[in-house]
Amino acid sequence: MSNPTPIADLLVRDSDSLAAAVSRLDASPLGLLFATDPDGRLAGRISAAEIDAALARGMNLSLRVGAAMVPDAGGLPAGLDPAELRKRANGSGNVIALVDGERRPVGFHSPASARRVPIAEPQLGGNELKYVTECIETNWISSQGSFVKRFEEEFARRLGVPHALAVSNGTVALHLALAAYGIGPGDEVIVPDLTFAATLNAVIYTGATPIIVDVARDTWNMDPEAVAAAITPRTKAIMPVHLYGQPADMAPILAIARRRGLMVVEDAAEAVGAAWQGTPCGAIGDCGTFSFFSNKLVTTGEGGMVVFKDDAIAARARRLRDHGMNPQKRYWHDEVGFNYRLTNLQAAIGCAQLEQLDGFLARKRQISTFYEKRLSKIAEIETPHILPDFANSYWVFSIIADCAALGLSRDQLMARLGAAGVDTRPLFYCMHEMPPYKTYAGNRDFPISAHLSANGLSLPSSTSITEAELEYVAGTIERIVGARRLARSNGT
């Protein structure tokens, strides 16, 4: 992949003033500049860190770039083949100038030069191919195959629940769960404002009314106080979402549900492997649902799972998943059902993925520990709160930027990171703001989800991310913030 930022945007003359460098740095998506000598040759590099250090040494901004830069007359020759380039860059997370025969910068290499650093890509390096091949060789490609049963049993075992039903995706998992409980027109289901739309859509499919409530500042998930305030005689269920792998605050939610006789349906689409007080997310309430879309920690391409504790509800869900057909009497339908089955081909991938889940989770922990350590030092960046007994699975590591302090909108920050080859995603839009869902907001307020949604972004968190890529992502954020601070404090 070619570098998204032209080299011209990254150059400054070593004879230019530091004041000039400050404003150019602020426009550089990499938050750094290469300095050239009067002949245009590579002479050094400079970022806000060097200028800060120079100012701390008593220098001022009218002085030359050359006095503050890190001398760097090296670079790597432009035109090296990519493998050689990577070898010479030696797995470093740095940005390295590429120079011509005269040592003039003509480009740059960074860990994002080879590939855009992705948010969350599937990892299919285990037994996926072997198991899918087995399906094809044995002719078992529909939902009638041994991998479906194996996937369900293994999933239920991991979660410590009696019933797991594999379904076509995480949205129908939610719908099937609600349908199995008989939730429908006239009923209300409490949902958080900050979630993916499928949470609300599933409620709407049943004919019930989603009641949107604000989220809490510490978990970014459903605020239990807002839940308590939203309960009416029509409330039938509470649907906490464990957003980005962070468990919701389940103790007060369970207490409210018990007191009022409500079902707790956990949307754990993003939280396979997360746990609250030692119980896996999805197995805390009455029922839990999961998504195996390709960006999820466990993927089957498209797919989902719904887990139940109650035998009768699980049996009803199993029937509803298969057109409402009587399991003992083929083509006899006891009720109107759906075709929400998962194929054996998909389940085969799921089985192979589950074999790797512990490794995936361990890698997510390494990634989050790295980001947490580096980014929590930046005053303008808020990292997910670490709460005792809330085992975040860190599906995607997300941050909240202090956009007011940065003087940069979230979208501008994302655009800079994008220009540096770093893939990011905005946090979800607030449900109460979008036309199809506005009506479910009532007269409630959503200050916290509005703040998180407007200022939040998710960072590259693939299990396949390299150490150099992680270093590059964190370093780029540090440099962009540093350049912003300098520009703001110097009024440029």
170 sits near ligand PLP (criterion: CB under 6 A): yes
Residue 223's Cβ-count burial label (10 Å; 0-12, 13-18, 19+) is: buried
Tokens 């139940």, residue located: 308
CB of 239 to ligand PLP, least distance (A): 10
| Segment interacting with ligand PLP (CB under 6 A) among 52-60, 247-255, 264-272, 405-413 | 264-272
User: Is 296 labeled as catalytic in the residue annotation?
Assistant: yes
State the residue number with the nearest CB to ligand PLP.
Answer: 170
199 sits near ligand PLP (criterion: CB under 6 A): yes
CB of 375 to ligand PLP, least distance (A): 23
Q: How far apart are CA 364 and CA 195, in angstroms?
A: 21
266 sits near ligand PLP (criterion: CB under 6 A): no
Residue 405's Cβ-count burial label (10 Å; 0-12, 13-18, 19+) is: middle
Residue 117 or 172 with smaller CB distance to ligand PLP: 172
Q: What tokens were used for 108?
A: 């740059």
Rg (C-alpha) for the chain, rounded Å, is 26
Residue 78 or 191 with smaller CB distance to ligand PLP: 191
Size of the site for ligand PLP (CB under 6 A): 14
| Segment interacting with ligand PLP (CB under 6 A) among 175-183, 190-198, 204-212, 376-384 | 190-198
198 sits near ligand PLP (criterion: CB under 6 A): yes
CB of 186 to ligand PLP, least distance (A): 24
Residue of the chain from 108, 293, 371, 446 that contacts ligand PLP (CB under 6 A): 293
392 sits near ligand PLP (criterion: CB under 6 A): no
CB of 78 to ligand PLP, least distance (A): 42
Instruction: Please report the DSSP string for 342-391 in residue order.
Output: PPHHHHHHHHHHHHHHHHHHHHHHHHHHHHHHHHTT-TTEEPPP--TTEE
Residue of the chain from 161, 212, 216, 241 that contacts ligand PLP (CB under 6 A): 241
CB of 21 to ligand PLP, least distance (A): 43
Residue 439's Cβ-count burial label (10 Å; 0-12, 13-18, 19+) is: exposed
Tell which residue, 113, 193, 209, 237, has the closest CA to residue 452: 193
Residue of the chain from 267, 380, 382, 469 that contacts ligand PLP (CB under 6 A): 267
Question: Cα–Cα distances in Å, from 88 out to 91, 115, 431?
Answer: 8, 17, 48
CB of 306 to ligand PLP, least distance (A): 11
What count of other Cβ atoms lies within 10 Å of the Cβ of residue 87?
11
Residue of the chain from 5, 28, 143, 169 that contacts ligand PLP (CB under 6 A): 169
Q: What tokens were used for 485?
A: 């601070």
Question: Cα–Cα distances in Å, from 269 out to 222, 251, 274, 278, 367?
Answer: 15, 20, 11, 18, 20
Q: Interface residues for ligand PLP in 411-450 (CB under 6 A)?
A: none
Residue of the chain from 28, 206, 209, 291 that contacts ligand PLP (CB under 6 A): 291
171 sits near ligand PLP (criterion: CB under 6 A): yes
Q: How far apart are CA 237 and CA 180, in angstroms?
A: 12
371 sits near ligand PLP (criterion: CB under 6 A): no
196 sits near ligand PLP (criterion: CB under 6 A): yes
Q: How far apart are CA 108 and CA 77, in angstroms?
A: 10
300 sits near ligand PLP (criterion: CB under 6 A): no
Tell which residue, 121, 123, 29, 171, has the closest CA to residue 396: 121
| Segment interacting with ligand PLP (CB under 6 A) among 265-273, 359-367, 401-409, 462-470 | 265-273
CB of 395 to ligand PLP, least distance (A): 9
Residue 289 or 368 with smaller CB distance to ligand PLP: 289
CB of 305 to ligand PLP, least distance (A): 10
193 sits near ligand PLP (criterion: CB under 6 A): no
398 sits near ligand PLP (criterion: CB under 6 A): no
Tell which residue, 99, 23, 27, has the closest CA to residue 419: 27
Note whether 417 and 474 are within 8 A (CB): no
Name the E strands within 67-135.
Answer: 70-71, 76-77, 96-99, 105-109
Residue of the chain from 42, 161, 179, 269 that contacts ligand PLP (CB under 6 A): 269
| Segment interacting with ligand PLP (CB under 6 A) among 168-176, 203-211, 305-313, 332-340 | 168-176
**DSSP-based three-state secondary structure for 238:** strand
459: DSSP letter: P
Per annotation, catalytic residue among 87, 130, 236, 296 = 296
CB of 160 to ligand PLP, least distance (A): 22
Residue 293 or 440 with smaller CB distance to ligand PLP: 293
Which one-letter amino acid corresponds to residue 198?
A
Tell which residue, 230, 491, 317, 160, has the closest CA to residue 240: 230
Binding interface with ligand PLP (CB under 6 A): 169-171, 195-196, 198-199, 241, 267, 269-270, 291, 293, 304
Tell me which residues are annotated as active site: 296
